[in-house]
Every structure is written in C-alpha cells, then in structure tokens.
C-alpha cells in the first residue's frame, strides 16, 4: 500500500513518535512481496508507459518465470532528476532530456558512460518538434519563419521548466542559425519575435496542451511530434492539423539505470531487463504506435508513412554539446533570459 513496501520508512516515522498510528497499518505487509521496479519518467509519457508496463511484465514473466510489478512516477524531466538526487529511489529513468540524465551521472547515481550502455546513445526512440494548428490552418503555418510573423500567437511550455519547451527553443534557434547562416544579430531578432509571440508559458507540456485545446488559446501549439499526433487522436482529427516543419531538431529520449538505487533495491537485473525490453521489436512497435520514431529497421519500415521526412538537427552539431547549450542558453542570465528581457 502506501509506500510500506519499503519497510525502512517505518523507522523513519517512529523516530517522530508516530509508531502508534503505524501499528495499525503494518498488516499491509503481510501479503507476499513482489519485486517492484520504479520508473521515473517525463510528464507526457503516462499513456505510453501505461501501455508498455503490462507487456514488459508478461515478457519478464516469460523469460524469468517471475511476476514483477512496475510503478511509474511522472513529472517535468528536471523535477524528476532533482527528486532522484534528493532521494527518490527510482530504478530506471526514461527522460526526454540528455542533460537531466547527465545531472544524475554527475551526482554519481548513474554511470558516467551511460550513453554507451545502450544502442543509439541510450535512446530507444526519438522524436522531433512539430506544430499543431487549428482546422484548415488559417494562419498558413508551414515552417518556423511563419511562427515569427506579425499576427500569430504561440503556445509552448516554459523552456526553463520543461523539456519540450527547451527543444522548441533549440529547434527555432537551429532553424534561424541555418537560415541566417550564423548571423548572431539576425538570429536574435528572429528569436525575440518568436518568443514575443508566445501567449502562455505553462510549466509543463500537458499544461500547454490544455491551454491550447481546452482553453482555446493560441494559433499554434508547439511540442513533440508524438504528442502532437496523440492530441489530434485524442481531441478529434477534424479540429486540428499537424504540421511537421522541413527542418527541426532531433529529440532523443535517453534511458538509464540508476545504478545506486537499483543495486540497493535489489533490482539491477530487472532494471536492465526493462531497458533491454524497450529495444525489442514488440516494444518498438508499441512506441511507434504512440507516434515516436524508432530505430528498429523492420518497425521503422512498417510505420514509414506515419513520419514525414524531415531534416533533423542534432543539438551537438548546432550547439556543441548539451552542457554548452544549457550554459549559453538556459542558465540564469543566459541567452533566453537576455532575449526575454525588455
């Protein structure tokens, strides 16, 4: 039940003289203990892992003849990383930001070479940033420069608090960098207009979706291609149209075992198995079904029509590296703060 699966929390509470209240609860322990894996993930992956986990449990059962359970925690990628650093005992992380795993690696919770431990930089699937526009595309949005027009209002989450907000910012910058051939002042002018067109900055991806769909605010919602398609399926294909721009950014979804905690939870094999499973054909097909792009050749071929050809810029190519991009653009007083300054 309520976190009693980890009996040490009992001690913690008794230290505060709450033993009495707890006595009544301990019988919950009596049932047979299943091994539990905790997957800490980003905000908009709830439906995805709700679908993946039961399949994984079957897969693990078939392979190891053991019934396990998987628990999910979802939040902004950075919030999740911070929680793990402060002691949330997640066994694996499935994030949407390389930097957030790097933060854990710097803290010694994840192996330094985590990107080499699984194929494709430890990213079992990827996506890009796309646009969702209202029916008939009344503002004729085709590419990034349309978003910096005069009469367009945009909705995307705050780049400071959200992974897809950050990718959106980087994608726009990448586009401008390419178009203006690296002319800093032109790029900055473009970015200023682009950011000035934002109507609402929600803290997370889902908040932005609610704003755009339920509150009817903004002409364009900018978020992951996968999310854009899921929203369209969720809210009606007739009301919205998806626009994938010809140039956008490669958004990798990195995964890693949180070695420190997996070891302490006695879940090392389970955690590794979980990430291995994400690369299996079955899981890749499931992922593609949720509109994520995958690397498995067979599955990628099956879903080819679903994903338009797009030039995907790599963060490393445009900005040097993730840490550099973070420092130059998103740190306090960085480029983003400068662009938003009045």
Partner 1 sequence: MIAQALTRRRERRVLPGFGLSLGISLTFVSLVLLLPLTSLVGQLSQLSWSQYWFLITDPRLLASYTVTLLAAAVAALSNAVFGLLMAWVLVRYEFPGKRLVDALMDLPFALPTAVAGITLATLYSSNGWIGRLLEPLGISVSYTWVGIALAMAFTSIPFVVRTVQPVLEDLPAEVDEAAMTLGASDGLAFRRVILPYLWPALVTGTGLAFVRSLGEFGAVIFIAGGKPYETEITSLMIFVKLQEYDYAGASAVASIVLATSLALLLAINLWQGRFIKRLHGGRG
Partner 2 sequence: MIRIGDAPRVRRLLIGVALALTVLFLLLPLVAIFAQALMSGIDVYWQNLSNAYTLSAIGLTLLVAVITVPVNLVFGVFLAWLVTRFEFPGRRLLQTLIDIPFAVSPVVAGLVYLLLYGRNGWLGGWLDAHDIQIMFAWPGIVLVTLFVTCPFVARELIPLMQAQGSREEEAAVTLGASGWTIFRRVTLPNIRHALLYGVILTNARAVGEFGAVSVVAGAIRGETNTLPLQVEQLYQDYNTVGAFTSASLLALLALLTLAAKAALEWRAARRETAT
Q: Distance between alpha carbon 168 and the CA centroid of its chain, in Å?
A: 13
**Of residues 166 and 232, the one with the C-beta less far from partner 1:** 166
Indicate which of partner 1, partner 2, none lies near residue 309 (CB less than 5 to 8 Å, by partner kind).
Answer: none
Give the separation between CA 251 and CA 283, rounded to whole angstroms: 19
Residue 296 near residue 151 (C-beta atoms within 8 A) = no
Task: List strand residue ranges (DSSP E) for the chain, in order.
Answer: 35-42, 68-75, 92-94, 125-134, 154-155, 198-200, 220-224, 240-243, 247-252, 255-257, 293-294, 311-313
Query: CA–CA distance from 139 to each of 15, 56, 146, 153 (Å)?
Result: 62, 43, 8, 10
Total residues at the site for partner 2 (CB under 8 A)? 39
By CB under 8 A, is residue 18 in contact with partner 2?
yes
Give residue 185's Cα distance to chain centre.
Answer: 31
Query: 315 with 249: CB under 8 angstroms?
Result: yes
Token pair of 185 as six digits: 């002042």
Among 88, 105, 244, 247, binds partner 2 (CB under 8 A): 88
**Looking at beta carbons only, is 205 or 273 nearer to partner 1?**
205
**Which of 250/336 has CB closer to partner 1?**
336
Cα dist from 107 to 166, 258, 307, whole Å: 22, 11, 37
Interface characters, 253-282, with partner 2 (x: CB under 8 A) = -----------x------------------
Residue in 51, 85, 105, 217 binding partner 2, rule: CB under 8 A? 85
Binding to partner 2, residues 220-249 (CB under 8 A): 231, 234-235
Nearest approach, Cβ of residue 12 and partner 2 (Å) = 4
The listed partner (partner 1, partner 2, none) that binds 89, CB under 5 to 8 Å by sort, is partner 2
- 329 in contact with partner 2 (CB under 8 A): no
- Report, in this order, helix, strand and coil percent for the chain, each rounded to 5: 50, 15, 35
If one asks whether residue 6 binds partner 2 (CB under 8 A), the answer comes out as yes
Judged by CB under 8 A, does residue 25 bind partner 2?
A: yes
Q: Hey, is 130 helix, strand or coil?
A: strand
Site residues (vs partner 1, CB under 8 A): 16, 76, 78-79, 82, 85, 103, 158, 160-161, 198-203, 211, 214-217, 330-333, 337, 340-342
What gap in Å lies between CA 100 and CA 93, rounded to an integer?
10
Q: What are phi and psi of 130, to 5 degrees?
A: -135, 175
Selected binder of partner 2 within 150, 181, 214, 301 (CB under 8 A): 214
Contact positions vs partner 2 (CB under 8 A)? 1-3, 6, 8-9, 11-13, 15-16, 18, 21, 25, 38, 43, 46-47, 71-75, 83, 85-89, 204, 206-207, 209-210, 214, 231, 234-235, 264
């Amino acid at each position: 039940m309520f976190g009693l699966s980890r009996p040490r929390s009992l001690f913690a509470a008794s230290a505060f003289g709450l033993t009495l209240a707890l006595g009544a609860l301990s019988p919950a322990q009596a049932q047979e203990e299943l091994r539990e894996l905790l997957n800490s993930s980003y905000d908009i992956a709830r439906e995805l892992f709700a679908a993946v986990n039961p399949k994984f449990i079957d897969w693990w059962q078939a392979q190891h003849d053991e019934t396990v359970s998987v628990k999910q925690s979802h939040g902004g990628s950075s919030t999740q990383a911070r929680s793990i650093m402060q002691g949330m005992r997640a066994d694996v992380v499935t994030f949407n930001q390389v930097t957030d795993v790097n933060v854990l690696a710097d803290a010694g919770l994840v192996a330094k070479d985590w990107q080499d431990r699984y194929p494709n930089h430890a990213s079992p699937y990827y996506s890009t940033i796309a646009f969702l526009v209202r029916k008939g595309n009344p503002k004729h949005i085709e590419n990034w420069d349309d978003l910096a027009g005069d009469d367009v209002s945009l909705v995307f989450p705050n780049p400071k608090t959200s992974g897809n907000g950050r990718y959106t910012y980087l994608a726009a910058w990448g586009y401008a960098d390419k178009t203006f051939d690296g002319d800093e002042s032109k790029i900055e002018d473009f970015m200023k207009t682009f950011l000035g067109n934002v109507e609402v900055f929600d803290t997370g991806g889902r908040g932005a979706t609610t704003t755009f769909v339920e509150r009817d605010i903004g002409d364009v919602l900018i978020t992951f291609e996968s999310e854009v398609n899921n929203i369209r399926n969720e809210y009606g294909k007739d009301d919205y149209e998806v626009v994938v721009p010809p140039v956008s950014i490669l958004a990798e979804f990195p995964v890693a075992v949180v070695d420190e905690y997996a070891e302490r939870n006695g879940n090392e094999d389970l955690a590794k198995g979980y990430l291995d499973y994400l690369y299996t054909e079955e899981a890749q097909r499931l992922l593609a079904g949720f509109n994520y792009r995958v690397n498995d050749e067979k599955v990628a071929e099956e879903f080819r029509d679903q994903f338009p050809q797009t030039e995907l810029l790599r963060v490393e190519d445009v900005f040097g590296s993730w840490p550099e991009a973070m420092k130059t653009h998103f740190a306090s007083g960085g480029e983003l703060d400068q662009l938003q300054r009045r």
